[in-house]
Amino acid sequence: MNNISEIVQAKIEAEHIAPEPKWHFMARRSVFWLLTIGSIVLGIVSTAVILNIIENSDWDAYNRFELVFMAVPYLWLVMFAAFVVAAYYNFRHSKRGYHYPLFLIVGVTLFCSIVGGFFFYRAGWGEDIHEILIVRVPRYERAFDTRMMAWQNPHMGLLAGRIIEVHPADFRLQDFAGHDWQVLYGPQTVLAPQMVIMAGERVKLIGINKDDDIFEAREIRQWQPRKKNPRPAYYIPQDNGRHGLEMAPPERP
Amino acid sequence: MITNKDCPLDITDEALIEQIKTNPDYFLCIMNRYEAKLKRYITRLGSFSPEEADDVLQEVFIKIYKNINDFDPQLKFNSWAYRIAHNHVVSVFRHNSARPVSWGAEPEDFANIKDEFDLAISIDDGLLRQQIERVIGELKPQYREVLYLKFLEEKSYEELSDILKKPMGTVATLIHKAKKEFKNKWSQAYE
């Protein structure tokens, strides 16, 4: 044996080396394509949820710049960036992916994610996904929904939490940190459309921090107003003199 | 069993690959075609001794053989084989934490370099050849490789893109930077 080719040929025969079957390569490539498509879909979902959080952030209520910063959904933005990077990486490792420059791949991924995310959001799927995650994923809301931080500032006039007991002129509220508040409200308090003051409802309050555990509400909004399936129109709060504001029965035609 | 004299001479690499898929013995023929070219490429990519270069070449051929079903007929086989060699040499460097230091160029290689860089030297001048070698040895590995492929192997931009798995624009930028770095180092050292 006098050249490398013959040595290699002998080695292939002696060690029974065989070419890898074609389907191995096709399977590997399919995984990269699936991961690319999966990353773009997750980018679309992230965009839809981010838009939903931004829409429900009540920017008009943030009277200080730091509150605006608190409400930015950073973790979702990081997730979105991670999905764009993952889509780029996986596409780049597809068979012909290296032909395309970085800016083109990232540009197309961003375009697909943002445009697709906008349509998801318009269809109300951003809201659905956000609510499913709140229910199904422990600690999701605290980590991903940064509005909670912004609305946990009673000294700046913002408070949010769950109503636990309703009385004629006040209600008890447990904020997202677990602290109990007495919330005062009256006829002058502005209620958001379709707002129902009842136990179990999660609300956002704009008002004045009167004392350690007393908050006077000037405005009451739903924590997560639903666009897709809002409450029927007859759910208008009425004072029945016993339990504070309750739902009125539907009017008969 | 196919021997060297059974190898068809008048068919393209790509047609030969199709034959290998039905009769793997024809792999000997493709190895014959690429043995000298790839050995030169591997040697010039790194500071391998002739024995080390032979070992690396054997490993490259085994890789080509194992991956033969992954060959994309839209590519030139030539580019695909160089890509496998490139990737393997890079992984050898990574594994050994070694870096190439010399180009191991031969006298005829200097004619292209001399023309490309307008160097007023005689290609027979041993001292100046050493100087070019030294400057090339100081270049970053990716610059050295792209200069080698472009000016000595005379690969097109498309082939370079397929070998290095980079977009053609990036290849053009790499060549531009490599030439610039060569000129800078040359003028710093010898002008």
Kindly write down the DSSP assignment for every residue of B59-118, as one continuous string.
HHHHHHHHTGGG--TTS-HHHHHHHHHHHHHHHHHHHHT---------TTHHHHHHHHHT
Residues 6+ apart with CB under 8 A from B110: B121, B123, B129, B132
The radius of gyration of chain A from alpha carbons, rounded to an integer in Å, stands at 28
Is the model more confident about B104 or about B33? B33
Q: Does A100 touch chain B (CB under 8 A)?
A: yes
- C-alpha to C-alpha distance for A81 and A84, rounded to whole angstroms: 5
Identity (one letter) of the amino acid at B147?
L
Q: What is the pLDDT of residue B99?
A: 53
- Is there a contact between B66 and A21 if contact means CB atoms under 8 Å apart? no
The verdict on a CB contact (< 8 Å) between B28 and A9 is: yes
**What six digits make up the tokens of B2?**
């196919």
Cβ separation of A4 and B54 shorter than 8 Å? yes
pLDDT in the model for residue B162: 93
Q: Are B165 and A20 within 8 A, CB to CB? A: no
- Number of other residues whose CB lies within 10 A of the CB of residue A194: 15
B35 contact A CB<8A: yes
For residues A188-213, give the mean pLDDT.
87
Nearest by CB to A22, which of B31, B62, B69?
Answer: B69
Give the pLDDT confidence score for residue B78 in this predicted structure.
93
Is residue A101 within 8 angstroms of chain B, CB to CB? Answer: yes
Minimal C-alpha gap between A12 and chain B (Å): 8
Q: Do A22 and B58 touch (CB under 8 A)?
A: no
From the list B4, B65, B167, the residue facing A98 with the nearest CB is B167
From the number of C-beta atoms within 10 Å of its C-beta (0-12, 13-18, 19+), residue A240 rates as exposed
Q: Mark residue B48 as left, alpha or beta (left: phi above 0; alpha: psi -120 to 50; beta: remaining).
A: beta
Q: Does A2 touch chain B (CB under 8 A)?
A: no
User: Where do the H-state alpha helices sit in chain A?
Assistant: 4-14, 22-55, 65-71, 74-92, 102-122, 125-136, 140-144, 147-150
Instruction: Classify the C-alpha dihedral A62-A64-A65-A69 as positive or negative.
Output: negative
CB A65 within 8 A of CB A24: no
Residue of B nearest to A94 (CA): B165
Note whether A217 and A207 are within 8 A (CB).
yes
Best probe of the B interface among A9, A23, A105, by most B CBs < 10 A, is A9
Verify whether the Cβ–Cβ distance A8 to B32 is below 8 Å: no
Q: Is pLDDT at A229 greater than 70 in this prediction?
A: no
A164-193 pLDDT tens trace: 999 888 899 999 888 999 999 888 888 887
Split at pLDDT 50, 70, 90, the class of B141 is confident
Searching chain B, which residue's CA lies closest to the CA of residue A8?
Answer: B58
Test B61 with A4 for CB contact under 8 angstroms. Answer: yes
Q: What is the pTM of this model?
A: 0.75
- pLDDT tens digit sequence for B99-108: 555 555 566 6
Task: Tell me whether B67 touches chain A (CB under 8 Å).
Answer: yes
Band (pLDDT 50/70/90 cuts) for residue A252 is very low
pLDDT at site A206: 93
Tokens of A108: 């197309």
pLDDT of B110 strictly over 70: no
The partner residue sitting opposite B161, judged by closest CB among A7, A18, A99, is A99
| Cα–Cα dist B63/B81, whole Å | 9
Q: A77 or B98: which carries more pLDDT confidence? A: A77
Q: Is the pLDDT of residue B122 over 60?
A: no
| pLDDT of A75 over the 80 cut | yes
Mean pLDDT over the full length of chain B: 83
Identify the residue with better confidence: A50 or B141: A50
What is the average pLDDT across B25-45? 90
Residue A244 and residue A171 in contact, taking contact as beta carbons nearer than 8 Å: yes
Residue B105's pLDDT is what?
Answer: 59
B169 touching A (Cβ < 8 Å): yes
Residue B189: predicted pLDDT: 78
Q: How far is A20 from chain B (nearest CA, A)?
A: 5
Q: When comparing pLDDT for B103 and A157, which is higher?
A: A157
Asked if A206 contacts A217 with a C-beta cutoff of 8 angstroms, the reply is: yes
- CA A105 → CA A6, A36, B66, B167, distances in Å? 44, 11, 31, 11
Local confidence band at B81 (pLDDT 50, 70, 90 cut-offs): very high
Q: Which pLDDT value is given to residue A228? A: 58
Residue A241: predicted pLDDT: 40
- Half-sphere exposure (CA, 13 Å, Cβ side) for B101? 5
Of the two residues B152 and A75, the one the predictor is more confident about is: A75
* Tokens coding A127: 């809201």
Q: Is residue B5 over pLDDT 80?
A: no
> pLDDT digits over A12-71, tens only?
999 999 999 999 999 999 999 999 999 999 999 999 999 988 888 888 888 777 778 888
Choose between B123 and A84: higher pLDDT: A84
Contact B46, B96 (CB under 8 A): no
How far apart are alpha carbons A245 and A199 in whole angstroms? Answer: 10
Checking if the pLDDT of A87 tops 90, the result is: yes
Query: How far is the C-alpha of B164 from the C-alpha of B86, rounded, in Å?
Result: 8
Mean pLDDT for A82-107 is 93
Distance from CA of B72 to the nearest CA of A (A): 9
